[in-house]
């Protein structure tokens, strides 16, 4: 079982003792679990218990992460997924799962193992079977994929790279604030795994889209997302819609890859909440 921190074990214990439906938040590349803090407060106000495990070896704070960026290196998609599954296995109720970017891919892997009651994948990274590769997505990934040695490194973005991939639709002052507040280095491996997923049957970047216990799934796309454009989100939806459980996709107008962090995050959170309230297991509710 993955080695969970004292913080993470405490969040699991609180969720179990609360008798509330847990919501598990999965962050993606270049962020830490603390990026979900406003979402957690919002969902807890709605009657849910929340937890936000980190990726293996994630530092506790952005400041610590910037002092020790090398700790992020060599983390694969499956290693990260296994850590979240280890946390979920200790919950007394099947959770609702929310993931952003590569966290959205991991959220779909969790759902594809039957471990989620319902799932929202926000601008999710592509998995095996998702074929489109728009030019903007390639440009966003080039800071990592442009150097094969980055596969085994921790890689940080410059502000200019972050702005293109994440915040180009925002005012410059807000874009800089998000970079200064949230950006940390990340493992290079997941991007290489996603880039080669359709060539490697054993890739960790694959999802069981037909699992009978996958549960309801919503994919949220950002109209102006350079990193995960509509073509990728829609192709992920077309793979997932073959499941017998409810499957939906919504495009959020004017939104880019930073949609869970920027001034419009609450709209995304409310869309997520609405989906969960419509599709939670019958009679469960936030406290059932």
How far is 131 from 72, CA to CA, in rounded Å?
28
- Closest Cα to residue 108, out of 88, 81, 143? 81
CB atoms within 10 A of CB 139: 15
265-279 vs 37-45: helix axis angle to the nearest 10? 40
Cα angle: 72, vertex 75, 76; to 5 degrees: 155
pLDDT number for residue 281: 66
Q: Is 86 exposed, middle or buried (0-12, 13-18, 19+ CB in 10 A)?
A: middle
Whether residue 88 contacts residue 12, with contact meaning beta carbons closer than 8 Å, is answered with: no
* Domain-wise residue ranges, the chain: 6-279
How far is 105 from 127, CA to CA, in rounded Å?
7
What is the token pair recorded at 55? 């990726």
What's the pLDDT tens digit per position in 168-221? Answer: 999 999 999 999 999 999 999 999 999 999 999 999 999 999 999 999 999 999
How far is 185 from 62, CA to CA, in rounded Å?
10
Q: What superfamily in CATH does domain 6-279 come from?
A: Alpha/Beta hydrolase fold, catalytic domain (3.40.50.1820)
pLDDT number for residue 280: 78
pLDDT number for residue 287: 53
pLDDT number for residue 1: 43
What's the pLDDT tens digit per position in 40-70? Answer: 999 999 999 999 999 999 999 999 999 999 9
What's the pLDDT tens digit per position in 90-114? Answer: 999 999 999 999 999 999 999 999 9
């Amino acid at each position: 079982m993955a080695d969970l921190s004292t913080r993470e074990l405490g969040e699991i214990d609180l969720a179990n003792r609360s008798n509330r439906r847990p919501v598990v938040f999965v962050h993606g590349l270049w962020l830490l679990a603390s990026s979900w803090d406003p979402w957690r407060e919002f969902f807890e106000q709605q009657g849910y218990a929340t937890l936000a495990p980190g990726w293996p070896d994630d530092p506790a704070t952005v400041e610590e992460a910037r002092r020790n960026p090398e700790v992020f290196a060599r983390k694969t998609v499956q290693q990260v997924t296994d850590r979240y599954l280890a946390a979920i296995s200790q919950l007394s109720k099947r959770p609702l799962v929310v993931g952003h970017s590569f966290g959205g891919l991991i959220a779909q892997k969790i759902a594809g193992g039957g471990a989620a009651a319902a799932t929202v994948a926000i601008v999710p990274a592509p998995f095996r079977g998702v074929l489109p590769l728009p030019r903007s997505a390639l440009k966003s990934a080039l800071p990592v994929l442009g150097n094969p040695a980055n596969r085994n490194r921790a890689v940080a973005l410059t502000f200019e790279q972050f702005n293109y991939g994440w915040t180009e639709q925002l005012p410059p002052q807000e874009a800089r604030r998000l970079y200064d507040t949230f950006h940390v280095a990340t493992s290079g491996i997941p991007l290489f795994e996603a880039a080669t997923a359709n060539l490697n049957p054993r890739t960790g970047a694959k999802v069981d889209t037909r699992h009978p216990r996958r549960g309801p799934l919503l994919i949220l796309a950002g109209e102006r997302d350079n990193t995960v454009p509509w073509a990728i989100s829609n192709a992920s939806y077309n793979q997932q819609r073959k499941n017998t459980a409810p499957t939906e996709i919504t495009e959020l107008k004017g939104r880019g890859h930073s949609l869970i962090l920027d001034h419009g995050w609450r709209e995304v959170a409310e869309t997520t909440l609405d989906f969960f309230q419509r599709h939670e297991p019958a009679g469960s509710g936030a406290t059932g």
